[in-house]
Amino acid sequence: MPPPENEIGKDQIIAANKASWNEAAERHRSHDQYAALLAGFARPGFSVLDATLTGRLEGLGLEGKAVAQLCCNNARELLSVKNLGAGSVTGFDFSEAFLAQGRELAAAGGLEAELVQTEIAKIPASYDGRFDLALVTIGVLGWMPDLAEFFGTARRILKPGGHLVIYEGHPILNMYDDRDKRLPPVADESYFRRAPYRSDNGLDYWRNEDYASTAFFWNFHKMSDVVMGVLRAGFAIEDFEEFPHDVGNHSHLENQPQQLPLSYILVGRRED
Ligand SMILES: C[S@@+](CC[C@H](N)C(=O)[O-])C[C@H]1O[C@@H](n2cnc3c(N)ncnc32)[C@H](O)[C@@H]1O
């Protein structure tokens, strides 16, 4: 039983979250969306990436590039990057069960992808300086108890001059309960919360319904924590834009009279 949220340490957060992600994997495996991904990757050139991310990646140029994804889950985005022309793709995630799905999706598309089971901070030194681009997408930073360590790892695995691309849900969404679809939205949490948020109501964002799960912990990072974290890790920021479109489970918040920022993209270049 993990301790309460205000007493929990980094290692306990990571161990608890790993158990919850592995537990959630079977729920995704049996979901229609997984069958749709298997069918999708069987088609040449299939991609799940939206126009915003595709445009930014194409702008940086993927042809022949070595691309890494931090927290790749079932590799649906990583395999899409491969289909967009990347030279090689490598995904890192601590969930063996999700990586097994990634291997199945890769096989469905006859796509080559290296999928490595590891906690992000523990990515082996053999990957240091190997990548042209490191991708972080949709629902990753909140799992990280230590952003400085996370961005430090991203920098470590990039070549000098390599790019970090973050395409994420906006941290303002931490103020709203995911399951509460009321409009206008009612904020029930402080944007400036420090303690991680503990839940044992499940993290299956495909079904978006509660289930009794092992405890997991979500970490609150402000937009300024992300921007300053990237800068302090040794990146120059080349691009940063907030968007009114949703990249997760908040599509009901799109097109509102008082539009919240729902997502953002940030591109950093490793400075040496
Ligand atoms: C919300 S999922 C990412 C989903 C993905 N962007 C997509 O849209 O398909 C977050 C992933 O982060 C992984 N993860 C969370 N904390 C991690 C850590 N400390 N080290 C490695 N992987 C981690 C989980 O196993 C999970 O697969």
220: CATH: 3.40.50.150
Asked if the structure places residue 48 within a domain, the reply is yes
Cβ(157)–Cβ(68) below 8 Å: yes
Which tokens in the block code for residue 89?
């793709």
77 close to ligand 1 (CB < 6 Angstrom): yes
Instruction: Answer yes or no: is pLDDT of 2 > 70.
Output: no
Residue 1 confidence (pLDDT): 63
What is the Å distance from ligand 1's center to 150 Cα? 13
95 close to ligand 1 (CB < 6 Angstrom): yes
Region 24-38 average pLDDT: 92
Radius of gyration of the chain (CA): 18
Q: In whole angstroms, give the CA distance from residue 30 to residue 152.
A: 36
Asked if the structure places residue 1 within a domain, the reply is no
Q: Which of 33, 71, 221 to mutate to test the pocket of ligand 1 (most atoms within 8 A of CB)?
A: 71
Asked if the structure places residue 249 within a domain, the reply is yes
The widest CA-to-CA distance across the chain, in whole angstroms, is 50
Residue 216 confidence (pLDDT): 95
| pLDDT tens by residue, 187-232 | 999 999 999 999 998 888 787 788 888 999 999 999 999 999 999 9
The minimum-distance atom of ligand 1 relative to the CA of 76 is 9
Instruction: Answer yes or no: is pLDDT of 179 > 90.
Output: no
Residue 231 confidence (pLDDT): 98
Residue 187 confidence (pLDDT): 96
| pLDDT tens by residue, 250-263 | 999 999 999 999 99
| pLDDT tens by residue, 115-125 | 999 999 999 99
- Average pLDDT of the chain, as a whole number: 95
Residue 93 identity (one-letter amino acid): D
Residue 175 confidence (pLDDT): 97
Instruction: Answer yes or no: is pLDDT of 77 > 80.
Output: yes
Residue 30 confidence (pLDDT): 85
Q: How far is CA 57 from the centre of its chain?
A: 16
90 close to ligand 1 (CB < 6 Angstrom): no
* C-alpha distance across the termini of the chain, in Å: 43
Q: In whole angstroms, give the CA distance from residue 51 to residue 91.
A: 22
Residue 220 confidence (pLDDT): 97
Least confident of 1-10, 12-21, 215-224: 1-10
| pLDDT tens by residue, 126-152 | 999 999 999 999 999 999 999 999 999
Q: In whole angstroms, give the CA distance from residue 111 to residue 134.
A: 19
Place of tokens 């390599």: 162
Residue 49 confidence (pLDDT): 98
Asked if the structure places residue 3 within a domain, the reply is no
In which domain, by residue range, is 174 found?
10-270
Cβ(3)–Cβ(40) below 8 Å: no
Asked if the structure places residue 252 within a domain, the reply is yes
Which tokens in the block code for residue 235?
């990146």
Nearest CA to ligand 1 atom 15: 143
Residue 64 confidence (pLDDT): 96
Asked if the structure places residue 118 within a domain, the reply is yes
The minimum-distance atom of ligand 1 relative to the CA of 140 is 10
Nearest CA to ligand 1 atom 13: 71
Contacts of 93 (CB under 8 A, 6+ apart): 71, 72, 73, 99, 102, 115, 116, 117, 118
What is the Å distance from ligand 1's center to 257 Cα? 33
99 close to ligand 1 (CB < 6 Angstrom): no
220 close to ligand 1 (CB < 6 Angstrom): no
Nearest CA to ligand 1 atom 1: 139
Asked if the structure places residue 4 within a domain, the reply is no
Asked if the structure places residue 2 within a domain, the reply is no
Strand pairing report for 197-199 and 216-218: antiparallel
Looking at residue 69, what DSSP letter applies? E
Region 258-272 average pLDDT: 97
25 close to ligand 1 (CB < 6 Angstrom): no
Place of tokens 């800068």: 231
Q: In whole angstroms, give the CA distance from residue 227 to residue 221.
A: 10
What is the Å distance from ligand 1's center to 151 Cα? 15
Q: Say if residue 184 is preceded by a cis peptide, omega within 30 of 0.
A: yes
- In sequence order, the β-bridge partners of residue 67 are 89, 133
Nearest CA to ligand 1 atom 16: 143
Region 55-66 average pLDDT: 98
Number of domains in the chain: 1
153 close to ligand 1 (CB < 6 Angstrom): no
The minimum-distance atom of ligand 1 relative to the CA of 118 is 21
Instruction: Answer yes or no: is pLDDT of 5 > 80.
Output: no
Instruction: Answer yes or no: is pLDDT of 87 > 70.
Output: yes
